[in-house]
Amino acid sequence: MEKLLEVNNLTKRYAQGNVLARISITAVDNVSFYVKPAEIFTLAGESGCGKTTTAKLVLGFEEATAGTMLHNGNTRSRREKTWLTKGVQAIFQDPFSTFNPLRTVDSYFHETVRNFRLARSKKDAIAHIDQKLRLVGLTYEDFAGKYPNEFSGGQLQRISIARALVTDPKLLIADEPVSMVDASLRMSIVNLFKRLRDELGVSILYITHDLATAYYVSDRIAIMFRGNIVEMGTVERVLMNPRHPYSQLLRDSIPQADPKKRWATKVTLAELEQEEYLRQGCKFAGRCPDVMDVCKSVVPTDIHIDDVFVKCHLYAEEKK
């Protein structure tokens, strides 16, 4: 099987706390996954589970503590800085922080065209940029000479996607790309991802805490919890029939209509975060409705069952 991106045993430890109480948390703990050509692969999980850290490691913005990454079958040494090439581009959560408010947005596009020598003349450059903008439903005339604040958040996010497409990448890494976009425009952006996959064969590493859009766009999905991938497989298997108790909890919490409830969940989560990262055995043991003694001391291995990987002792028992 062809793999565009392959990540093996990726680990990142961070020091936290102060000089008196120094602790180290493993924000990304032995994470392995791959992304195939023309596939949308999603990393999903609540805030603080290690999604952004994983993205930064893959992009080379942070150095991994351990692990290897392959792009098109080529290894990238941990220190190599040239990982972010024409072939891999990133899209971030806040389009307003992607663009300097004092620069016109078109200047970014022209700069990329120049840096990668993608056009022979200004006319060529404009045609190339216009073609990318049309993919996201805009045109060169719509944006030439304008500053970021002249666009809505949704438009600016489309523009940042068009900008990522200028180099004709094969892989887009999108970290929470719709979480700051109005709910009414979210679907149009995730639909755009589907079109890029289907029409241009682009792969997307889609990072989100939103299972509804994840279900809608993903081919395969990995559920993260406190630095670990706890369940991974096709989106139908993982979200329609979740096996890991945490995936079940997450899936059942999708329609959180009551705002009071949502607030309460967030508070407990924040307080638990460090405690759970430091936990021996399974990181979910403290909240798991199916917890067993072994969970509190032994880290579960990845169990392969029905084409899904589940990191849970329940299934080790089942397989025996």
Ligand X SMILES: Nc1ncnc2c1ncn2[C@@H]1O[C@H](COP(=O)(O)OP(=O)(O)O)[C@@H](O)[C@H]1O
Q: Which one of 52, 98, 155, 203 is in contact with Mg ion (CB under 5 A)?
A: 52
Q: Which of these segments, 46-54, 114-122, 165-173, 256-264, binds ligand X (CB under 6 A)? A: 46-54
The neighbour count for residue 284, using CB atoms within 10 Å, is 24
Report the C-alpha dihedral over residues 24, 26, 27, 33, rounded to 10 degrees. 170
Distances (CA, A) of 112 to 88, 119, 129, 162, 211: 13, 10, 10, 12, 33
Minimum distance, C-beta of residue 7 to ligand X, in the bound complex (Å): 14
CA distance 96 to 73: 35
- State which residue, 25 or 221, has the beta carbon closest to ligand X: 25
Q: Binding to ligand X (CB under 6 A): which residues in 257-296? A: 273
Alpha carbon 112 to its chain centroid, in Å, reads: 23
- State which residue, 48 or 60, has the beta carbon closest to Mg ion: 48
Amino acid at residue number 319: K
Question: Binding mask 14-33 vs ligand X (x if CB under 6 A, - otherwise)?
Answer: x-x--------x-x------
> Number of H helices and number of E strands within the chain?
12, 12
CA distance 280 to 226: 12
Binding-residue total with Mg ion (CB under 5 A): 2
Q: Which one of 5, 31, 40, 51 is in contact with ligand X (CB under 6 A)?
A: 51
In the 8-state DSSP scheme, what is residue 20?
S
Q: Does 47 bind ligand X (CB under 6 A)?
A: yes
Minimum distance, C-beta of residue 318 to Mg ion, in the bound complex (Å): 33
Q: What pairs with residue 175 in β-bridges?
A: 207
Question: 223: helix, coil or strand?
Answer: strand
Q: Which of these segments, 42-50, 88-96, 134-142, 241-249, binds ligand X (CB under 6 A)? A: 42-50
- State which residue, 16 or 32, has the beta carbon closest to ligand X: 16
Give the residue from 167, 168, 178, 308 showing the smallest Cα distance to 231: 308
Minimum distance, C-beta of residue 29 to Mg ion, in the bound complex (Å): 16
Minimum distance, C-beta of residue 27 to ligand X, in the bound complex (Å): 3
- How many residues in total does the chain contain? 320
* Residue 53 contact among ligand X, Mg ion, none, beta carbon within 5 to 8 Å by kind: ligand X
Q: Does 49 bind ligand X (CB under 6 A)?
A: yes
The two tokens of residue 310 are: 């589940």
Q: Which one of 29, 31, 38, 53 is in contact with ligand X (CB under 6 A)?
A: 53
Q: Which residues lie near Mg ion (CB under 5 A)?
A: 51-52
- Residues of this chain that bind ligand X (CB under 6 A): 14, 16, 25, 27, 45, 47-53, 273
